[in-house]
Structure formats: C-alpha cells, structure tokens
Chains A and B, each alone.
Chain A
Amino acid sequence: MRSDPALSLKNLTVCYGGGCEACRGEMAKGMKKNRCPVCGSIWALREVSLSLFSGEILGVVGESGSGKSSLLKCLYFDEIPLGGQLTLPDIAENAFSLSRQAQRRIRNAHMGMVHQNPMLGLRMDYSAAANIAENLIAANCRNVRLLQDRIDELLDIVEMSSYRRRETPRHFSGGMQQRVQIAKAIANRPDILLLDEVTTGLDLSVQAKILDVLKKIIRDFNISAVLVSHDLAVIRMLAHRTVVMLDGKIIEQGLTDQVLEDPQHFYTQQLVHSLLCI
C-alpha cells in the first residue's frame, strides 16, 4: 500500500473572519475551541498535516464543525487557506501558492470532488449531461461527440439510465444527485477523489448501492480518495486509514480498525461510543 504520497499536507490553517491580534498570537499556544473569544473568527483548520498515499482511501471523521469540509475545499482549491503547504507529485512548488490558473489546471487534471451539499456541486438548472460535462469542458474538451460518448460511459459507471441525461438534477432524488456528482467528479479520470458525506441523508438501501459504485470506481481506476463521513460504518467499510478531527485539529490517526477498535483519545472514545450506539 505505502508508495509515494498522492498528496501531502503540512500545517494547513484556515480562518473565517480574518482573526485579530489575540487569536493570531493565541494560535501558537493553542486556543481550546476553534472560535476566537475576542473577535469571533472561526479557525476552521489549525495546522493540519496529513498524507494521502497512492491507492489509499483516507477516512476523515469528526463532529459537525470540526473542519472536515474546509479541509476538502482547500485540497480542491475552492478555499484559500491562511497558511500551509500542499505537495503534489511532479509539482515543485507549494500548490497553495500557485496562480489560480495553475491550480485550476491541476484540479481539472488530477482531482474530483463530491460536495456535501449537492447545491454547491451541481448546477440545478442544467441537464445531468451538462453537469457531467462541466469538468471535461473546463479541461478544454471542445468536441461534442467525445463529450457525449464520455457522458454515456460515465452514466453507465454510476449505474444511471441514459434517458435521464436531459433532466435537471433539481428533480432528482438525493441518491440520483449523488450519482451525477460522482460521474462529474470522475469525468477527467482524476488520481484523487475528495468525497464529502457522499451517502449522508440517503436511506440505507440507496447508501449501499452508492457505496458499491464508489468502491468499484476506486478499485477499477486506481484512485486515491479522502472520504469524509459522519458514519463510522461507511468509514469502516471503505477507509484504510482514518484521521479524527476536533475543533480544526487532527487529534488521532491510524489504521481504521485500530482507531475504531481501540481509540486512544478520550474524544474519539466518546465519538465511537456515541456513534455506535445510535
């Protein structure tokens, strides 16, 4: 499993609200919570470091507001971090300090994202086909025949019937919206998939089908993935390693079985306990 990292992240810091002198200084010592008591800024991520190895699925768990989505948004260059280094294969510089255009090129060539909120991940007033084509077009495909063929291929992969291609996702069920998001995310054959709560809010039978589709995609196309989920069953089923986040920090990490069976940190113990009970 352990080969070269598909990405490696050092000291990622994200602050919503700009911060003040107090919290900037406080950062080093470490605030208890992620919210600055003086200015109210949210330090959504505080010096987060992690690596994703090639072919690996990395689980990310943590309570609501712990910074999971912010982490994925930074990796997808959707959020500009206050600080941190992102190292990617064959890119000498810190990817966070590249130009917007360079970041967009990297994203189009190497990354796919499934957003927690389908409203952010999809254009609700465009057809499913156009949604799936969006990243292909962003990567400069200007041939309609090629686009149509690839869309058919992708609909097949996510097990969606081709006759729904002209419908808009607004009228789709949650599960169907996620299938469109997944098809869109893998359209450019990315090396890295960022999955934010792909199955949250779906009923169990739909969840299982979507997870099967994902498992197959990750295996067949040799993709590395960061998988964010509230659901420890999902994490247990898919993730090789898992990190646990609390208030913008990673408090525990290790092989998934280890983290879930024998949590070291008090918070993780509580989390595992509470989530296994419900």
Chain B
Amino acid sequence: MNSNYNFAYLDEGSKREVRRTILKAIALPGYQTPFGSRELPISRGWGTGGLQITLSLLLPQDVLKVIDQGNDDSVNAVSIKRFIDECSDVETTTDSTKATLIQSRHRIPEIPLRNDQILVLQVPEPEPLRLVEGSEALTRQMHADRDYSLMWLRLFEDLVQFGEITAAAGYPVMVEERYLMSPSPIPRYDVPRLNMSECLCLFGAGREKKIYAIPPYTSVEALTFEDVPFSIESFGDQACAKCGAVGVFLDEIYDQRTGEKYYQCSDSGYCKSRVENAV
C-alpha cells in the first residue's frame, strides 16, 4: 500500500456519497440513480463506475476478486486489481467462493454467489431504452410511466425481420415488474441467474454517472413475448478443454498453430479450481 493515498483512494466524503446512492438504488430495484461520478486515474469507459462502488464499499478485511469477461488475468482486470492494491491492503483472490466483493465486467461467476457477497458489475450504457429513444428526458418519462412499449416494439421488429430476438449481451430485463433494466453486457446465459439471486448485485456506470441495484431475492425477468420463450446460449455437449466442465458458459478459442477450434470455461477462476481439485 502506498501511504500517499487515502485508504481505497477516494476521500471519505466521496465514498459516503456513493454509499448513499447505493442505498437509494437498493431501495428502488432497477432504478438508475444519478451520482456525482469522480475522476479516477483510469479513463472513463474502463470500469470507473464499478470501481467507485468497489472503492466506496471496501473494508480492510475484505477479500476482493476482479474479473473481466470471466477472466481474472485480463489486462483490464489486472490493472484494476493493481490500482486497488496500490491504495489498500485488501487480500485478492481468483476463487469466487472466497471473495467477499467481486467486481466484474460482462460475466457473473459460474458458482452461485451467496448472501454474504457483493457483486459489482461495470456498465458502459445503463439505459436499456437508449436503443429506441435518444432523448434522456423522454426515456426518464418512459420509466416514470412504466411505458416500455417501444422496447417491446423493438423486440417484435426483430421477430419480423429475423424470426428471433437478436439482443445478445445486455438483454433487457424487468426488475420487480417495475423498472426496465440493462443487466450490463452479460451474456443471455447469465440473465436468469440474476433472478432471485442471494447476492446483492450493484451496477455502476461512471461515464453516464448512474448506479443501480438488484437486492437479494429480487425478481428479474427477461423481456419476451408470451409465445416466444427466452432462450440462452447453448453449447450442446461441448466440454471445457481444460477442466472438462459441461453445461457452463464456454469461450470459443482457436489454436494459433493448428487453427483448430476448442472450448474453454469463460470463468477462469472456476476452471482453475476444478483443475486444482481434480489433481
């Protein structure tokens, strides 16, 4: 820890403001709560929203895990981890069962999270309606009125043009049957896992200055028509080339030399612990 920094970088006043925003967000599940996003020594769009949540919640006894698209060792995850390490002494881990706080981008860890853990997701575009309406004033009005028919129309247009709903990452969901919410760019596979989740999920958008939350045991439903079931990515009976797992979210990887395609767990921490336990 570099003692020139505050613990967890932000000053206590800023942290308090972020925590108040988080409380408000928890009280209104799925509602995008504005906050005064701070400058951080990481550029906006690289997870500063999630990072501000993490820094504001972090306690010295916390165990932190940072992942990017499921991977603990990606450049982005490593640089966030190194930054947090610079300004705090908290322990880090790749094992999601050991972590008390998990900051992630584009994935939810494979093993279901518990009630004593917090998941923080980085969000590039918090407004699910931005796709169908450019004006912030109008999208706010739509949320206030619970008027989401334009989003339904968009999904219907997909069905007309392609015979299926094409939205892949960041599939729109209804939270507690009240607010339409973007679950951040997680794959469809992860969307049903938000429903009635034991763990508190927090979403931070630094550039757009919004925080929103899914408290534990909250209903989260993917938007879809009565006669069009919501479907998730399927990998058939493909298994992870490293740990042999099936029925998990896999990444497609091409062998650089042979050009051959194989699959590997997207959650690298999960994969690693399976390999270690098998030995």
Contact = CB atoms under 8 A, between A and B. Distances in A.
26 contacts: A100-B145, A104-B145, A104-B147, A126-B157, A127-B157, A127-B160, A127-B161, A130-B153, A130-B156, A130-B157, A134-B153, A137-B149, A137-B152, A142-B152, A142-B226, A143-B225, A143-B226, A143-B227, A144-B156, A144-B159, A144-B226, A144-B227, A144-B228, A145-B227, A147-B156, A165-B160
A275 B159 CA distance: 47
A144 B228 CA distance: 7
B7 to A, nearest CB: 48
The B interface, classified by DSSP as helix, strand, loop or mixed, is helix
Contact of A166 (B149, B160, B225): B160
Interface string B144-165: 0101010011001101110000
A101 interface: yes
B153 A166 contact: no
A138 interface: yes
Interface string B111-133: 00000000000000000000000
A101 B145 contact: yes
Interface residues of B, number: 14
Contact of A142 (B145, B157, B161, B225): B225
A14 interface: no
- Secondary structure call for the A interface: helix
Given A104-B145, A130-B160, 13 more contacts: A101-B145, A126-B153, A127-B157, A127-B160, A127-B161, A130-B156, A130-B157, A134-B149, A142-B226, A143-B226, A144-B159, A147-B156, A166-B161
A56 B227 CA distance: 39
Contacts, number: 41
B229 to A, nearest CB: 11
Interface of B: 145, 147, 149, 152-153, 156-157, 159-161, 225-228
Contacts of B152: 137, 142
Interface in A138-158: 138, 142-145, 147
A133 interface: yes
B226 A137 contact: no
Contacts of A133: 153, 156
A165 B159 CA distance: 12
**Closest 8 pairs between A and B when the two form their complex, measured CB to CB:** A130-B157, A138-B149, A143-B226, A129-B160, A144-B225, A127-B160, A137-B152, A137-B149
Contacts of B225: 142-144
A145 B159 CA distance: 11
A197 B160 CA distance: 30
Contacts of B226: 142-144
Nearest to B228: A144
Contacts of B228: 144
A130 B225 CA distance: 14
Contacts of A100: 145
A129 B157 CA distance: 8
Nearest to B223: A142
Contacts of A145: 227
A84 B104 CA distance: 55
A94 B158 CA distance: 39
A138 B226 CA distance: 15
Contacts of B161: 127, 166
A178 B195 CA distance: 44
Nearest to A138: B149
A84 to B, nearest CB: 23
Of the listed residues A100, A129, A142, A166, the one surrounded by the most CB atoms of chain B closer than 10 A to its CB is: A142
A116 B147 CA distance: 25
Contacts of B159: 144
A218 to B, nearest CB: 27
A29 B271 CA distance: 83
Interface string A144-182: 110100000000000000000110000000000000000
Contacts of B149: 134, 137-138
